[in-house]
Structure formats: C-alpha cells, structure tokens
Structure 1
C-alpha cells in the first residue's frame, strides 16, 4: 500500500500508468476511489496519481487540520515522488487544494482543471447549502439532510447514485465526527488575491444545476486566473465528471493532450 509521510501524517495514494504525471484531487468526505472512471480513462496516456487527503480514505485522520495542510500535503507528495512538473485535476474540495498548489508551485503545475469550484468561502459549500435551506431541513438527522440536499446538488441523480454505489464498494464512509472535522478545514479560505500568480493553462468546469458551487462561482474563479477557460455543462450539477462523463473525458482529454494542438 503506497504511503508517504507529510509533516507527521501518513497519507495514502494510488499510482498507476505511465507518462506525464496527472494528479487527481477528490472532494470533501470522499477519497481516491471517487475517480475510478477517470483513473481507468487516463491511465493509458498518463501516470495517474490519486491521493487520499488527510482525514479521508486510507490516510490518517487527525483531530484538526486546515486547507493549507491539504495544500502542503500535495506538495509533499510531489517532493516524495520527485515530480518536476504535473497536470492537476481537482473536484470540489480538491479544486480548492489544487488552486493553492498551483499558486505555490506555479512552475510545477503545467495544466490545471478545476471542477465545481470556488475561490473563497466562509464555510464549506455543504454547510452553506444547509444554511440556505434550513427551514426545509429542520428536524432532519445529518444523514437525512445529506439525502434531502442531493436534489439541490445534482441533475443526473441516477448517474450519481450508481457512482456513489460503486465508490462505496472499495472505500469506507467517514464517521459524522470525521465529516465535521473535514468540513471545518474549509472555513474561511480565500485565494482571490493570489490567483493571478497561477501560470498553468487552466480549464474551469461548472454544472448548471450545481447548488453547492453554482456556475457563477466557477466563472468568477476563471476570470481571476490569467487566460483561463470557463465551461458550463448544461446537464450537470456538482459532479460534471459523473453526470456527463463522456463530455467530461472528451473535453479534458483535448485540453490535456498537447498533440491535439499541433
């Protein structure tokens, strides 16, 4: 089981394929297993590396950590694997981490894909969603809230349900306590004044029906990154890579593939 140590925390990662290193950074309370479709699609052309963030998956679960810890963990992984340059895809929380890495390691990150993203937040997007619909969810348990909120998060519920089922086969769920710690790590981050330092070619993808990080958030992020491209998937919510997988793979493949531009 491949692991590395980042500032005293043991972190797990998957590493498969050959070629340009392509890092995949997962969303809040998830883990590398959420990328089972992307790993299969990209491993024939890239060296695909998918870590479990601290507090998630098979990695250690400290009682407290921050978004900056996540950023430094990815940088530690790059150093551990002695990677000089990378392509980077981040989804939701993974896209926040990816922004921090692309800012701090601007010479290393050559291409950047931010999916269902935002550039700042006073709290996690899920906490914001619960707050917006507090009256509707009054009296619901945390698990019931999550189930109820899905209609505000996704457009293609069938595809997302199948994806969650397949992911759950190979990964355990976080406890409610662990979920709360993970959510608290995203309180009060803001990359807006630093996104101008990103040098990577950047693609930002949002879903029209995303009630967690609406397209306006993604477009705002793209505007602040030099020469970034913004795309809105019309039949997706918070998981464009799952809800419109063929379109996602085609768009991302074309964006990453240097030969397609010659």
Structure 2
C-alpha cells in the first residue's frame, strides 16, 4: 500500500504482480475500494504489472469536499500514472471507473493502449436520479440506500450468500462526501461524442443481472468504438468480477493476449 500525493488529493494505490511487466490499471466502481479486484488478480497471466487505486473519496484515499467533476477524477488517474511513469497501459474500468477510462483515453491516448469498459456507459442515469440519490445519502447516510444498491449490484443468487455482507459493509463504510462527490461526477457526464471518436482496442463486459448498467446500455457505449468486442456474463450483476471471477479473468486474459499486451 502506498500513497500518491497529488496536491489536492492523496490517492491510495497498490502494485502487484511483475514490477517490470506490462501495466494493467484497474479503476473500481462507486462505493467500493480497490479490493473489488481481489478475486480476479490471482487468475490473471504472469508477467503483468497490476496497478489498483482508490479514487478520491473512497477507501484509503483522501476525501476532498464534494462535489467532484469527472474531469477531476480523470486528472487524478492521469497524474497517478504520470507519477508512476506508466505508459501504454491496459485500463480496466468498472462503472464510474469505466467513465474514467473513457475520459482518460480521450485526453491522454499515450497512457492507454487498450481499454476494458466493464458495467459502464458513456452516460449513466439522469441528473434528477443522481440528485435524488445525493440528497438521500446526505440526509440518511449510505446505510439508507444500501439494500437497494445491493439489489442493483448483485444477482438474487449472490444476495442469498453470506458474502453479501462483506460488500454491503464496504459500501456503507465509504465516506458520505466521497460517495456524494462521485455521484455528482457521474450526473454531469455524457461521453457519447468524445467516446465515439476513440480508436483503440476495447472490450465491453456486462452482466445480464445488472440493475445499474444493463447490458444494452453497455453494448451501446462499446459499439461507439469501431472494432470493439462485447462479452455478456450470464448470472452476474453489476460486479461480475466478484460474482464470477473465473469467467471474468478468462475473458480479460484473452483480451490482453489478443491485443498483444501479454
């Protein structure tokens, strides 16, 4: 575990795998920290430099006053990769992490040579929807939304397992300001036009039980990029790397091999 001091924010990050390997950067979803990727990392090919970080307002990173802009979240990722002297990474973004991936690829294509857009979209939800959620979190805390979030995140089968408690606890322990700040960033983001101009290897991943970013929404975004691929994970919700790590790792590994990243 390490901290990157980026002036207005301090980001917690971690590097696993081969320190001299091809870099793969992971950016996780709203309400989770970098442990989201724990289930799949041991299943990925050897020879990769695996970089994870907690976005601002989440995990062990600092929590500046809300609201945040998507530009700030993209800049955080950009500055972290510049600090670590990372170029030509494969960037794996889930949910808001996938929005960060799109924004970073548009801004700094020298940093990103391939992109995985997992359970994400160019635009997620509406301003009114996110405003209501922000107001609810500020009034009643994340706990007030936790059960409905679990329904969007996970399939019915997974919600019946004891492991659900771990992810619910992770959600409710995120800072309210961080959750609200990142919600505001999502509310203000529409990447349909900039993403349609991207030309890089792209894989879209969706879960057929995803209540937050349904498969058609993910597919619509991925198809903005010519030559992109799409994989539907059956029986999984918004966090398929948690529910179906073997399949997720297999699909991601194949993409990394096919694009010559490993």
Answer yes or no: same fold by TM over 0.5.
yes
1:28 maps to what in 2?
Answer: 30
Q: Which residue of 2 aligns with 1:68?
A: 71
Question: Do 2:150 and 2:168's aligned partners in 1 also have CA atoms closer than 8 Å?
Answer: no
Give the secondary-structure state (helix, strand or coil) at the position aligned to 2:145. helix
**TM-superposed deviation, 1:181:** 2.5
By how many angstroms is 1:44 displaced?
Answer: 3.1
2:219 maps to 219
CA 1:122–1:254: 2 relative to 1, 3 Å: closer
Q: Tell me by how many angstroms 1:120 deviates.
A: 1.2
Deviation of the 1:128 alpha carbon: 8.7
TM-score w.r.t. structure 1 length? Answer: 0.84
The superposition leaves residues 58-101 of structure 1 with CA deviations (integer Å, 9 ceiling, x where unpaired) of 11100122111110111111110111210110111111111111
Q: Which residue of 1 aligns with 2:56?
A: 54
**In the TM superposition, what whole-angstrom CA distance separates every residue of 1:137-169 from its partner, at most 9, and x where no partner exists?**
xxx985243214433442142588526627968
Contact in 1 for aligned 2:233/2:240 (Cα 8 Å):
yes
- Residues 53 and 206 (structure 1 numbering): CA distance in 2 closer, same or farther, change over 3 Å? same
Matched residue SS, 1:62? coil
Q: Is the 8 A contact 2:81 2:111 kept in 1?
A: no
> Measured at CA, do residues 27 and 42 of structure 1 come closer, stay the same or move farther in structure 2, by a change above 3 Å?
same
1:231 aligns with: 231
Higher relative contact order (CA 8 A, sep 6+): 2
- Offset of residue 194 of structure 1: 0.9
Structure 2 unaligned regions, length at least 5: none
Equivalent pair of 1:125/1:212 in contact (CA under 8 Å): no
Residue of 19, 40, 43 corresponding to 1:41: 43
- The correspondence of residues 82-161 of structure 1 with structure 2, limited to 5 A, is 82-121=85-124, 123=126, 127=130, 142-155=142-155, 156-158=157-159
CA distance in 1, matches of 2:87, 2:36: 26
Specify every segment of 5 or more residues in structure 1 that has no aligned partner in the other structure, as ranges: 135-139
Structure 2 residue aligned with 1:3: 3
Aligned equivalent of 1:200: 200
Aligned residues: 254
RMSD: 3.2
Runs of 4+ in 1 over 6 A off after TM superposition: 128-131, 259-262
Contact map agreement 1:254 1:260 (CA 8 A) in 2: no
Residues 152 and 13 (structure 1), Cα distance of their counterparts in 2 relative to 1, 3 Å cut: closer
